[in-house]
Amino acid sequence: MEDKSYKEHLNHITTFIFDVDGVLTDGTIALTTSGEMLRTMHTKDGFALKTALQAGYNVCVISGGSNEGVRLRLRGLGVTDIYLGSHNKIEQMNEYLDNNKIKLENVLYMGDDIPDYPVMKLVGLPTCPQDAVQEIKAISKYVSHKKGGLGCVRDVIEQVLKVQGKWNGNFDAKYD
């Protein structure tokens, strides 16, 4: 039986922070002969990110990776707070929260691996994809039934927006 105690936190979420590799992507990297690293992202996650932004939520991405293609994709979805090449996720998150006057208890963070652990211990609602490492699953208040890069971001955003009555907004808007 699924533990639904995390749902009590959904009403307080104003901010989504996501890792990239293993959350917005499935964690695999395809290498071209020129050494370029290619990642894939799910369009349903993209739709949810745009919907959250249009509904007035804060969305931030903090990643240790530094692929500029990731930045371009996220900017194309409307995400402006993007920290790539981050070696200290707590520092980046605190800077973002301070600049936007956001409280930790209002943050849903989704990570999948050990670099996310310190940040996840601080936020109001730590979450992870179904295929996250065990240490991350152990501290997550919610483990998505979706794997990284395959709709886990959509899963958590949709749940928050539905609980707060903001999911059924303007679906006539253009989405990519």
pLDDT along the chain (176 residues), means of 10: 75 97 94 90 96 97 93 97 95 97 98 97 98 98 97 97 83 48
2.160.10.10, 3.40.50.1000, 3.40.50.720, 3.40.190.10: CATH of 8-163: 3.40.50.1000
In this predicted structure, what is the pLDDT of residue 4? 76
Q: What is the pLDDT of residue 5?
A: 78
Distance in angstroms between the alpha carbons of the first and the last residue of the chain: 36
pLDDT of residue 81: 98
Alpha helices in 15-141 (DSSP H): 43-54, 68-77, 89-100, 117-120, 134-139
Helix/strand/coil (H/E/C) assignment for every residue in 57-75: CEEEEECCCCCHHHHHHHH
User: Which pTM was predicted?
Assistant: 0.92
